Structure 1
Amino acid sequence: MQIIKSIESRIYVIRGERVMLDFDLASLYEVETKVLNLAVKRNLQRFPEDFMFQLTKVEWVNLRFQIETSSLQAAESSGNLDIIKVNEKHGGSRYLPYAFTEQGVAMLSGVLRSEKAINMNIAIMRAFVDVRKILIKQNNINEQLTEIKERIGEHDVQLNELYDAMENLIDEKIAQLKWNDRERIGFKTKGQ
């Protein structure tokens, strides 16, 4: 379970896709990023754009900022600032990293055939499934909240109608009392 949590923390959303970066995958597979990318380049026909894409400079700068910020927060909360050094090794690369979608990671299992790569690939697939389950639960919660808001809105309308009806009844009662208490005009008979 710990490895799944570790993998989930390495899944990012880029271009609307949940992806893992080449250096994170290389770290998990215990190979160099260069070796992983060479294996992918030898099998490039297996990795269309919806399986793998290279980040732009802007995407990489934004993502590095997010990674470093989250690592700094995690390090500060745990009191271990050595975690930040993990990200420093990714800063000096001459190439922009590649991002692999869930399908791309699955395709890596056919390219990297070591036992470690196979076992790690299974764990990564489980992590993607867990993330999907979390998102489905979140969508269900969001739908329920929307439904509650709509119901509250309907209740507000109904309550306003009740308040208006009560005000009208009170106004009618006040008008009736005023009518009964008015000074009478006209002829008075002996019984009045």
Structure 2
Amino acid sequence: MQIIVSIQNRIYEIRGERVMLDFDLAALYEVPTKVLNQAVKRNVKRFPADFMFRLTAAEWKTIRSQIVTPSESDGVLRSQIVTASQSKRNTTVAPYAFTEQGVAMLSGILNSDKAIQMNIAIMRAFVEIRKILLKENDLKEQMKEIKDRIGEHDVQLNQIYDAMENLLDEKAAERKWDERERIGFKRK
């Protein structure tokens, strides 16, 4: 489960897609980023635009501000997302982003045992994220349903209050002033 959480921290949302970056995948597969990218270039026909794309300079700048290399100060890591391989990366070149299908396609070109194990873990991480999103959507729908019901109940309660007020007003109008029960001191 620890590895899945680690992988989930390396999944980003870019252009409306959940993707993993080449250097994160290389770190997980325990190969240099250059080797991973060379394997992809040798098999470029397997990676259409919806499987893999290169980040724009603006996207890379945004992502780079979120990714921090580990810097220890007083023995405490000062980042939310720590990527050890990032320190060796040429930061002027934007990385490749692989969608879930692109990561699955990587399993066909990287055949080491580590790559196979990591691919299975990555696929499980994507599935877990999808489950979480489905639960969120389900909760949103339930909340909307509850809100609609409460709205209906408010209308019905207001109608009941109005009807009760009307009944009380009618009862008060029916009583005659002279027939009312006297209150206060009575003289004999």
Tell whether the structures are fold-level matches, with TM greater than 0.5.
yes
Q: Deviations over 1:103-122 (max 9, x none)?
A: 00000011111111111111
Counterparts in 2 of 1:166 and 1:20: CA distance versus 1, 3 Å = same
Distance 1:10 1:85, change over 3 A: closer
Pick closer, same or farther for the CA change 1:88–1:97 going to 2, 3 Å: closer
TM-superposed CA distance for 1:19, in Å, is: 0.7
* Cα distance, 1:121–1:55 mapped onto 2, change above 3 Å: same
- C-alpha distance in structure 2 between counterparts of 1:62 and 1:118, whole Å: 31
CA contact (8 A) 1:23 1:90 kept: no
Judged with a 3 Å threshold, the aligned counterparts in structure 2 of structure 1 residues 5 and 125 are, in CA distance, closer, same or farther, namely same
Distance in 2, matches of 1:66 and 1:173, equals 70
Match of 2:170 in 1: 172
How far 1:54 sits from its partner (Å)? 1.0
Single out whichever of 117-126 and 168-177 deviates more from structure 2: 168-177
- TM value normalised by structure 2: 0.83
1:181 aligns with 2:150: no
Match of 1:80 in 2: 77
Q: For 1:142, which of 128, 140, 143 is the aligned residue?
A: 140
Q: Distance in 2 between matches of 1:91 and 1:169?
A: 80
Counterpart of 2:64?
64
Instruction: Give the whole-Å Cα distance in 2 for the aligned partners of 1:50 and 1:85.
Output: 25
Give the percent of matched residue pairs that are identical in Structure 1 and Structure 2: 64
Q: Which has the higher helix share?
A: 1
Letter in 2 for 1:35: V
Point out the more displaced range, 57-66 or 27-36. 57-66
Aligned AA for 2:134?
Answer: I
Uncovered stretches (5+) of structure 2, i.e. residues with no partner: 179-188
Is it true that 1:52 corresponds to 2:52 in the alignment?
A: yes
Aligned counterparts of 2:125 and 2:110: Cα–Cα separation in 1: 19
One-letter amino acid of the structure 1 residue matched with residue 143 of structure 2: L
Regions of 4+ moved over 4 Å: 82-85
Question: 1-side partners of 2:158 and 2:88: how far apart?
Answer: 60
Give the total of aligned pairs: 176
Q: Which shifted more, 14-23 or 84-93? A: 84-93
**Whole-Å separation in 2 of the counterparts to 1:110 and 1:158:** 62
Cα pair 2:67 2:82 within 8 Å, conserved: no
Alpha-carbon distance between aligned partners in 1 of 2:160 and 2:88, rounded to the nearest angstrom: 64
DSSP-derived class of the 1:50 partner: coil
- RMSD (Å), alpha carbons: 2.6
Tell me, in whole angstroms, the C-alpha distance in 1 between the residues paired with 2:145 and 2:132. Answer: 20
User: Hey, what's the Cα distance between the residues in 2 that align with 1:181 and 1:7?
Assistant: 82
Which residue number in structure 1 is paired with residue 98 of structure 2?
100
1:109-143: per-residue Cα shift (whole Å, max 9, x none)? Answer: 11111111111111111111111111111111111
With structure 1 as the length reference, what TM-score do the two structures score? 0.81
Secondary structure at the counterpart of residue 13 of structure 1:
strand
